[in-house]
Amino acid sequence: MIDFLSTIGRRVLGLFAIAGRLALFVARALSHCFRPPFYFRNIVQQFWTIGYNSLPVVGLTAVFTGAVLALQASVGFSKLTAPSAIPMLVVVSVTRELGPVLASLMVAGRVGAAIAAELGTMRVTEQIDALETLATNPMKYLVVPRVLAGLLMMPLLVLIADVIGVMGGFVVSSFILNLNESAYLINTINYLHTRDVVSGLVKAAVFGLIITLLGCFNGYNSRGGAQGVGAATTNAVVYASVLILFFDYFLTELFLTQ
């Protein structure tokens, strides 16, 4: 019984320790985002790898999300209401929820894992120590470019995902369900609200921060060779995914009560 309690106690303390270290890391990383010097070459490079290179994954996710929404909606509505209900359902769900959340989950798998693996390998092969001995702050050189790229590229990716998602719904509704094309577009515009899009983009920026910060945190603090890097990669993706869903709920609540 004592053993059992002490195990729980140790786990809880461990969790608080990790939460504390994560909070300190996040504070340090964000404060370095505002203090020079900046490594513009690295920043541009990360914009490219995190932003541009994620386009195919995000685009594919979006097109199928929009398409399946249209298909699912077609079952529930009568011939009369379908032409207006399907585009409304697609555009509202994609801009508010599915665009940011699904795109971010895909990017967490792609980018979060890559960041954790790269920084983790750099840690265990002493490359991060080498950076410090060469008078370069690894926070500024490695972490800041990735975090900035997550913060600024994720909303752009989600904006593109919104457009592609709506087009996915359009393709299914026009060519598979044979509904009127112009009615779809007009209804989409009628139900497209700035507030929905903006709330989705704010979510995207927060999720981008979560993905890159957790990737950096886990990679930066990885220990013990290949196994440590593997664990860091897994943790980066799992924690980021869970936190994305967690923050999605609270951000939604925040926007709905506004």
Partner 1 sequence: MTNSMTQAATAPKISVKGLKKSFGRKIVLDGFDIEIAKGESLVIIGGSGSGKSVFLKCLLGLIHPDAGSILVDGAEMANGNKGARERLRRKMGMLFQGGALFDSLTVWENVAFALNEGVGRRRIARAHSREIAVEKLNSVGLPEDVADLSPAELSGGMQKRVALARAIAPTPEILLFDEPTTGLDPIMADTINNLIVSSVQTLGATAISITHDMASARKIATRIAMLYQGKIIWEGSASEVENSGNPYVDQFVHGRSEGPIQLQVRAL
> Which has the closest alpha carbon to 210: 101, 119, 117, 76?
101
The minimum distance between CB 14 and partner 1, in angstroms, equals 14
The minimum distance between CB 81 and partner 1, in angstroms, equals 55
**CA 25 to chain CA centroid, nearest Å:** 19
- 33: three-class secondary structure by DSSP: coil
Nearer to partner 1, 122 or 211 (CB): 122
Out of 18, 26, 38, 39, which residue is the one contacting partner 1 (CB under 8 A)?
Answer: 39
Instruction: Give the number of other CB atoms < 10 A from CB of residue 8.
Output: 10
Out of 126, 176, 195, 245, which residue is the one contacting partner 1 (CB under 8 A)?
Answer: 126
User: Of 128-147, which residues contact partner 1 (CB under 8 A)?
Assistant: 129-137, 141
The minimum distance between CB 90 and partner 1, in angstroms, equals 41
Alpha-carbon distance of 96 to 24, in angstroms, equals 31
Angle at 21 between CA 51 and CA 154, to 5 degrees: 15
Tell me which stretch binds partner 1 (CB under 8 A): 126-134, 143-151, 182-190, 215-223: 126-134
Alpha-carbon distance of 51 to 73, in angstroms, equals 32
Binding mask 140-179 for partner 1 (x = CB under 8 A): -x--------------------------------------
- 38: three-class secondary structure by DSSP: coil
Residue 27 interacting with partner 1 (CB under 8 A): no
**Angle of helix 144-171 versus helix 82-93 axis, rounded to 10:** 170
Tell me which stretch binds partner 1 (CB under 8 A): 118-126, 168-176, 200-208, 241-249: 118-126
How many residues at the interface with partner 1, by CB under 8 A? 16
> Which has the closest alpha carbon to 164: 245, 64, 97, 232?
64
Tell me which stretch binds partner 1 (CB under 8 A): 69-77, 124-132, 156-164, 211-219: 124-132
> Which has the closest alpha carbon to 142: 166, 168, 115?
115
Binding mask 67-106 for partner 1 (x = CB under 8 A): ----------------------------------------
* Tokens (6 digits) for 25: 């890391």
* Tokens (6 digits) for 149: 């790229």
Residue 125 interacting with partner 1 (CB under 8 A): yes
The residues of the shown chain that bind partner 1, judged by CB under 8 A, are 37, 39, 122, 125-127, 129-137, 141
